[in-house]
Amino acid sequence: MSVGSSVTRRDLLLAGAAGSFVLASSTYRGRAADPPPNIIFVMADDLGYADLSCYGRRDYSTPNVDRIAADGLRFLQAYANSAVCSATRTALITGRYQYRLPIGLEEPLTSASTRKVGLPPEHPTLPSLLRKAGYGTTLIGKWHLGRLPEFGPLQSGYDHFYGFRGGALDYYTHKFGPAPSNTDDLWDGDVKIQQNGYLTDLLGERAVAIVNDYAKSKQPFLLSLHFNAPHWPWEAPGDEAEAQRIKSLFHFDGGSQETYARMVMQLDLQVGRVLQALDTTGLADNTIVVFTSDNGGERFADTWPFTGRKTELLEGGLRIPAIVRWPGHVRPGTTNNQVMISMDWMPTFLAAAGALPDPSYPLDGVDLLPTLTQNAAAFPRKLYWRYKNNEQEALRDGDWKYLKIRGNTFLFNVADDPLERANFKARRKDIYDRLVADYAAWNATMLPFDPKSSTDGFKANQLADHFGVEAAGGGPAD
């Protein structure tokens, strides 16, 4: 299948239904003598499933992310661990269901919260375990897992941090409140800083510098590059006046498809700068590059062929792009229909690095190296979600999905019906009853809902297509 901008939406959907791309050799493997690979994990914020041209976006192109796809593998059934960011980031960094930790119950952790909740420094993380294996570790961009002094990237395994700690930041003022407010949140390590520039560009510039530094040191490294784009506020390059105008970052009186396109294209440009740095330093051949998103798309995103969006357990709120490049190990220009989820990255990266998980904290994610490097056959997954707002529950088991929203329950075959329209609840009561029982058994092993935790969703007075919906929160989630 083509991975360029000429790919059609029909091609993408047919590829998903057809199953895994058959590689030229079922025994294709990397070279056993290779040194531990570097890892660059690029995560966009609120990027929809179809917001990249290699996933079908039609009104703009993303040539640099498309290059990763052309040189590597695209997952066609990748899921986020949650429909909002704090929860997904908890699962990503721990390799476990977020519902095992209080921070994972925040949907999301809000800037207004005064609660002392965050990622416990004693909990093993992807960066802490890779650091034990000799890796340098750096986070650039969004943290969103708790505030100082108790919580932070440097307290949870990263050697270096440059970015912001909350859920959102203005692209120009670098504040989480209005321009005149005292809400600056740009940090270098544990020191708050002032720096001019468009935030997407600043994050890309620092990432290039970090790649160059690691190239000189010859130390294997993990670079977590967590962009804020294309998360609100809706500000593209050249929109400094908008940063001064808005009174709230999640403004409902701004943004457009054109602004959103420019935000995504600037993100793509910075990804290209990082790829160029890998080429220039000679690190590209021994570096795993991943590009993905933290949850489904927001109000200007394209989530085709799914319905739903961020804060919703419909497919559009959970399905995300996920692309992997690893020269000599992952076949270029391929797609794969394996069902996967954000928490799978931790065991996969540990396996690639020859590092071990902490047996005291068993992982819920699975190692996907055989899928990536050996064309292993797709294996069935059971994946579970819950979301406090609107009392949402979901379970995917094979092609079937159980979904509950506000007491209404559904059974969908999401392989045949990605729009989630045909409810098989009564027609296949045997499957429905089994999935409901499975969900209840799984949920009993997780932390219960915290009545004080944050949750949010869109309301009828915010988005016209949500008429009749009254959400628990007062605005879109961070």
Q: How far is CA 199 from the centre of its chain?
A: 19
| Tokens 């703009």, located at residue | 60
List the beta strands (DSSP E) in 247-333. Answer: 287-293, 322-325
Angle, vertex CA 161, rays to CA 145 and CA 300, nearest 5:
60
Q: Identify whether the C-beta of residue 323 lies closer than 8 Å to the C-beta of residue 345.
A: no
Q: Residue 191: beta bridge partners?
A: 188
The answer to whether 65 and 271 are in contact (CB under 8 A) is: yes
Residue with the two structure tokens 């590009």: 291
CA distances from 37 to 18, 133, 450 (A): 32, 12, 40
Which sign, positive or negative, has the C-alpha torsion 88, 168, 292, 472? positive
The catalytic position among 123, 144, 160, 231 is 144
Tokens of 383: 């994946």
> CB of 142 within 8 A of CB of 205?
no
CA 105 to chain centre: 17
What residue has token string 């927001």? 298
Contact between residue 460 and residue 313 where contact means Cβ atoms under 8 Å apart: no
Q: Name the nearest CA neighbour of 292 among 361, 239, 368, 381.
A: 368
Is the backbone of residue 61 left (phi > 0), alpha (psi -120 to 50) or beta?
A: beta
Q: How far apart are the C-alpha atoms of 8 and 34, rounded to whole Å?
A: 37
Clarify whether 144 is annotated catalytic. yes
Helix (H, G, I), strand (E, B) or coil at 197: coil
**Active-site choice (85, 123, 160, 174):** 85
3-state secondary structure of 160: strand
**Cis peptide leading into 108, omega within 30 of 0?**
yes
Asked if 101 and 107 count as a contact pair (C-beta separation under 8 A), the reply is no
Residues involved in catalysis:
85, 144
